[in-house]
Chains A and B, each alone.
Chain A
């Protein structure tokens, strides 16, 4: 049995769903950040798979681009959480709700 494009896509969809659930359900912002990474990588997987399928380089280039942005995003995100933690002694998303009505 060979590995077909559907396998990649289903795996990517599963990873994306797990990431999505992590972002929506977990309260620890570090875990949420990691879940975002999961979602990004799921998308990366889709790109690579489809790029291979259509024999195009564009998808692979975008993957590198996404990885760069993700690295920067994590750096900024962690810096923010550190700052919040030093201020509020918590990184629980439920308690970080000042920006509201």
Chain B
């Protein structure tokens, strides 16, 4: 076993609070700029605050690396809740896992902020946009820096709120506002489960004499918890997983993510690809010590991941909207991460999270660059041959496609391979096969998008063709940087026994639950090589099929669609999941709500309340006639009363 976290070196510092605080200051500047109409200000404070946060994060990570392995930086800001026995400190903590996350969030976040400078340049509400984007960055940083579940929940809700605000950023169009609401509601369903899981966990820990939701304490108590109350562990893990399926867009709550593409493209890149949607994976990795004590929950995690990966990949096959394709591929890729953490490859999941953040941000920003050039057009059938007009975008997009497709030596080859290898080694052969199949589909649909967009015949509408232009430098520089990152990010996690090996795994090992906790079989180098060749082969096959269908003999795809009309219809309608939810949940909910409104509220409750009022009014209409206002009548009443009382008294005694 690795060293217990609480015996490792811990360095107290007040540096960490500045990491989320700096973007928060950016929010203040953004609000000031938005209300006083000083748009120039956010050009500096928007990206600048995130850049400063990135620098602070680098300093913190450098400090962390000077500590022995398994060390952590801790910044105790203040006591947030102190209602005995429930005690929560607002404490930030940087360990190996968090260090990866903060570098991804601030680093890629900065690039996306920079890109937004160019992308949002023409927008009236630029200042509001940067305020939201900074607020999102701050919330996400709180989420990953938190050292206890309640503080994670602050960030968890914060990123959800920002996601809502940014999806519906162009709220003037009702459809965008609806998409925002859909995301909010789907997330809320998951969040409720997350909260319940947290409460149950606290209650159980309280009964066991450790009333604390700090990760350190949860991990310390996990073995005991697993022994005493295995069912509770399973229940808690499943509830938290359900929360994760909302935030990370997995089955069954993934439905909001494709619609979330209604937001500005940098938002899709930052929130709905690189950072927020990976929060669920992060959370499971963070609680890995708890999850390993519930094999049932882990199997469910792995199954959801693998099925989502394949399910979303099939839906991406027939989409024509460039951003929608990327949205489904995001769902699919997060499915891989969830599969990874589900089969016990926690570091593999986090590794794929990191590489995915690079290449998916790249792809989204590339799509944004195309959209910018095409005056908002996103239908890939109305593109083609953009490579001449958009050389940088095309080159970087190609790198992104190779990276996501899993072609060596690009990023996802290593990270996806690590996950598939772990799935194979853990004996989940079916899940491994689903993952492998999805990998082939991924390569196919990404290259379908690439070929239709950048190669072949131009199908651009004439009036759009003449002002096709490469994007400004603020947009292309992030693309280039991300392309470089997408190429090299995978090299930190080579398979065991190759060159420097699995560096990221070693780096994360002190924080995560160990692989062997699940009884993995070691697989031989021969098997490993075979698996690598197999996944590469599948990826290349996917690319070749895309080439054959869309470039070599265009029209093949249409003929196939004609031949397999049934399958095509199912995929085109996205398995009717939205319609299913509409029929199963939304409509019955509407009917029940209507019943409670029209019958229970309007008739029953209002009836009782108004009935009492009307009754009193009618009765008093009669009785108030007694008040004549004539003093002699009152005096007579007094006399009668007095006589009556005396009479009673006389009779009674």
Contact status A101-B627, CB under 8 Å: yes
A5 CB to nearest B CB, Å: 20
| Contact count A vs B, C-beta below 8 Å | 32
Known: A23-B635, A24-B639. A93 touches B625 (CB 8 A): no
Task: Mark contacts of B164-200 with chain A using CB atoms, 8 A cut-off: 1 yes-contact digit, 0 otherwise.
Answer: 0000000000000000000000000000000000000
> B residues 577-598 with Cβ under 8 Å of A?
none
Tell me how far the C-beta of B624 lies from the nearest C-beta in chain A, rounded to whole angstroms: 4
**A98 CB within 8 Å of chain B:** yes
Report if A100-B632 is in contact (Cβ < 8 Å); known contacts: A20-B639, A24-B639.
Answer: no
Which residues 613-638 in B have Cβ within 8 Å of A in the complex? 624-625, 627-632, 635-636
CB–CB A96/B631 < 8 A: yes
Q: 1/0 per position for A66-101, CB-CB distance to B under 8 A? A: 000000000000000000000000000110111111
Pick the contact of A93 from B624, B627, B630, B639 — CB < 8 Å? Answer: B630
Q: In the assembly, what is the distance between CA of A100 and CA of B633, in Å?
A: 12
Query: Is the pair A101, B632 in contact by a Cβ cutoff of 8 Å?
Result: no
B630 to chain A, nearest CB (A): 5
Enumerate chain A residues within 8 angstroms of B636, measured Cβ to Cβ.
24
How many of A's residues come within 8 Å of B, CB to CB?
Answer: 14
Chain A residues contacting B625 (CB-CB under 8 Å) are 101
What residues of chain B lie closer than 8 Å to A94, measured between beta carbons? Answer: 630
Q: Report how far A29 CA is from B243 CA in the complex, Å.
A: 81
Contact A100 B628, beta carbon cutoff 8 Å: yes
Within 8 A of B (CB), among A1-43: 20, 23-25, 27, 32
Q: Which of B625, B632, B635 has the most CB of A within 10 A?
A: B632
- A-chain residues with CB within 8 Å of residue B635 when the two chains form the complex: 23-24
Give the interface centre of B624, B625, B628, B631 by most chain A CB atoms within 10 Å: B631
Closest residue on chain B to residue A35 by CB atoms:
B635
Residue of A nearest to B629 (CB): A100
The residues of A that contact B629 with a CB separation of less than 8 Å are 96-101
Instruction: Using A23-B635, A24-B639 as known contacts, say yes or no to A101 and B630 having CB atoms under 8 A apart.
Output: no
Chain A, residue nearest B630 (CB): A97
Of the residues A23, A25, A27, A100, contact of B627 by C-beta under 8 Å: A100
Is the CB–CB distance between B631 and A93 below 8 Å? yes
A42 CB to closest chain B CB (Å) equals 14
Q: In whole angstroms, how far apart are the Cα atoms of A65 and B324 in the complex?
A: 97
Complex Cα–Cα for A100 and B632 (A): 13
Contact A93 B628 (CB under 8 A): no
Against A, the Cβ 8 Å flags (1 = close, 0 = not) of B632-653 are: 1001100100000000000000
Contacts of A101 in B (CB 8 A): 624-625, 627, 629
Q: How far is the CA of A20 from the CA of B624 in the complex (A)?
A: 26
Complex Cα gap A24–B636 (Å): 6
Highest count of chain A CB atoms <10 Å: which of B624, B630, B636, B639: B630
CA distance A99 to B627 in the complex (A): 8
Contact with B632, one of A93, A98, A99 (Cβ below 8 angstroms): A93
State the Cβ distance, B409 to closest chain A Cβ, in Å: 95
Task: Please name all residues of chain A whose beta carbon is closer than 8 Å to the beta carbon of B632 when the two chains form the complex.
Answer: 23-25, 27, 32, 93
* CB closest residue in chain B, given A26: B632
CA A23 to CA B631, docked complex, whole Å: 10
Q: Distance (Å) between the CB of A13 and the closest chain B CB?
A: 13
Q: Bound state CA distance, A27 and B635, in angstroms?
A: 13
Write out the residue numbers on chain B whose beta carbons fall within 8 Å of the beta carbon of A99.
627, 629
Per the bound structure, the CA–CA distance linking A25 and B632 in Å amounts to 8
Question: A44 to nearest B CB, angstroms?
Answer: 18
Which of B624, B628, B639 contacts A97, CB < 8 Å? B628
Question: Complex: how many Å from CA A97 to CA B639?
Answer: 20
A98 to B632, CA, bound (A): 13
Closest Cβ of chain B: how far from A77's Cβ, in Å?
11
Q: How far is the CB of B137 from chain A (nearest CB, A)?
A: 68
Q: How far is the CB of A11 from chain B (nearest CB, A)?
A: 20
Chain A residues contacting B628 (CB-CB under 8 Å) are 97, 100
Contacts of A32 in B (CB 8 A): 631-632
Complex CA gap A101/B629 in Å reads 8
Binary per-residue interface labels of chain B (514-550) against chain A in the complex, 1 for a CB within 8 Å, 0 otherwise: 0000000000000000000000000000000000000
CB of B221, distance to nearest CB on chain A (Å)? 72
B645: min CB distance to chain A, Å = 16
Pairs across A and B, CB under 8 Å, 15 listed: A23-B632, A24-B635, A24-B636, A25-B632, A32-B631, A32-B632, A93-B631, A97-B628, A97-B629, A99-B629, A100-B627, A100-B628, A100-B630, A101-B625, A101-B627
Residues of B within 8 A of A (CB): 624-625, 627-632, 635-636, 639
The 6 closest A-B pairs by CB, nearest first: A100-B629, A97-B629, A101-B624, A97-B630, A99-B629, A100-B627
Q: Add 8 more A-B contacts to A27-B632, A99-B629, A101-B629 (CB < 8 A).
A: A23-B635, A24-B632, A24-B639, A32-B631, A97-B629, A100-B628, A100-B629, A101-B624
